[in-house]
Amino acid sequence: MLPVSKILVPVDFSERSVAAVHYARNLACHFHAELILVHGLPPIPYAMGGFEFGGVVMTDAFAERLPEARKELDEFLANELAGMKVTRIVLEGDPAQMIVEHAHGAGVDLIVIPTHGYGPFRRFLLGSVTAKVLHDADCPVLTGVHLEEGPILKTTAPRKILCAVDLGPQSEKVVRWADQMAQEFQGELVVVHAMSLGETHSEEMFDPEWRVALEERIREKLDDVLAGAHTKATIVTESGNPAEVVNCAAQRFQSDLAVIGRSEAAGMFGRLRTNAYSIIRQSPCPVVSV
């Protein structure tokens, strides 16, 4: 069973936040998980009235803004979330660092965050912040442009799951997570790998049978990954730009969720390190980075 007991959602009160909370609420209901809503108050520069205490710049303005922010957060979707276990927290500080540190400290199992926000708190959900959360967070992060489309995701359950792997050391872990999600929702799992010419020797490029041989080798490696994850899935291998291959496959299989991998040590790994954001921006469905 997929261990999801705490789900964190950054909130800036925009429609994008509403949509993200709707999506997270559906997952929290399924997993009987606690929903943690975090609202951030941007720090006020030292020159504008901040004072240092214990190595941290504090502000009188933050204390003044805190009651109003807490009230607004307490009222945010209060009726829709009634009866659920919901924790609402207001923090001040660097947006990405605040999200990552609180998620780590609270033992969060999943962060749900749109790619962008807008309004006075838009800094919290800008692409650069999301990218930093993707890079630094210890837990899986679910994001995507479609989280910004509100009602479309209110009743969606991820029953068609696409898992992109680059055959790096984290591939089994990523496939295992995607497979557990598919099992949770009685869904279908598709594993896709984007082949590049770098996976073959230069002399093979001129051999009419090189592509067939390459595909066979890649499929054998993918079979090993699936065996290591103790699961079965539909396998797709195609040559081309990883983001385009992954997103074309997501469209073809009408995927509800895509799963990509991260290195435990340094953010996105392999080709996904450079293509992860492109996958997220182009994906026809939300993307979980594991």
- The answer for residues whose C-beta is within 8 angstroms of residue 68's C-beta and 6 or more apart is none
- Whether 53 has a pLDDT exceeding 90, the answer reads no
Nearest to 114 by CA among 140, 88, 85, 145: 145
The whole-number average pLDDT for the span 118-147 is 71
In Å, the largest CA–CA distance within the chain is 72
Q: Is residue 66 part of a domain?
A: yes
Q: Is residue 1 part of a domain?
A: no
Measured distance CA(148)–CA(284) in Å, rounded: 12
Greater pLDDT, 255 or 281: 255
Report the percentage of the chain scoring pLDDT > 70: 77
The whole-number average pLDDT for the span 73-91 is 95
- Whether 10 has a pLDDT exceeding 80, the answer reads yes
Domains in the chain, number: 2
Instruction: Tell me how crowded residue 123 is: count the other CB atoms within 10 A of its CB.
Output: 15
Q: Are 257 and 285 in contact (CB under 8 A)?
A: yes
- Whether 224 has a pLDDT exceeding 70, the answer reads yes
- Whether 264 has a pLDDT exceeding 70, the answer reads no
Question: The domain containing residue 179 runs over which residues?
Answer: 160-289
Residue type, 215: E
Nearest to 177 by CA among 158, 193, 155, 196: 158
Nearest to 276 by CA among 136, 140, 131: 131
Measured distance CA(283)–CA(290) in Å, rounded: 16
CATH of the domain at 242: 3.40.50.620
Measured distance CA(14)–CA(244) in Å, rounded: 30
Q: What is the pLDDT of residue 28?
A: 95
Measured distance CA(97)–CA(86) in Å, rounded: 22
The whole-number average pLDDT for the span 39-47 is 68
- The per-residue pLDDT of the chain, averaged, comes to 82
Q: Does one domain contain both 263 and 235?
A: yes
Least confident of 10-19, 98-107, 128-137: 128-137
| Residue bearing tokens 């009743």 | 155
- Whether 273 has a pLDDT exceeding 70, the answer reads no
Q: What is the pLDDT of residue 288?
A: 95
Of 94, 126, 153, at which residue does a domain stop? Answer: 153
Q: What is the pLDDT of residue 176?
A: 97
Most confident of 87-91, 142-146, 269-273: 87-91
Measured distance CA(121)–CA(131) in Å, rounded: 17
- Note the pLDDT tens digit of each residue in 136-188: 898 999 988 766 654 444 446 889 999 999 898 889 999 999 999 999 999 99
- Note the pLDDT tens digit of each residue in 176-223: 999 999 999 999 999 999 987 555 555 555 566 777 888 889 999 999
Instruction: Tell me how crowded residue 64 is: count the other CB atoms within 10 A of its CB.
Output: 9
Q: Is residue 33 part of a domain?
A: yes
Of 133, 153, 173, at which residue does a domain stop? Answer: 153
Measured distance CA(259)–CA(140) in Å, rounded: 10
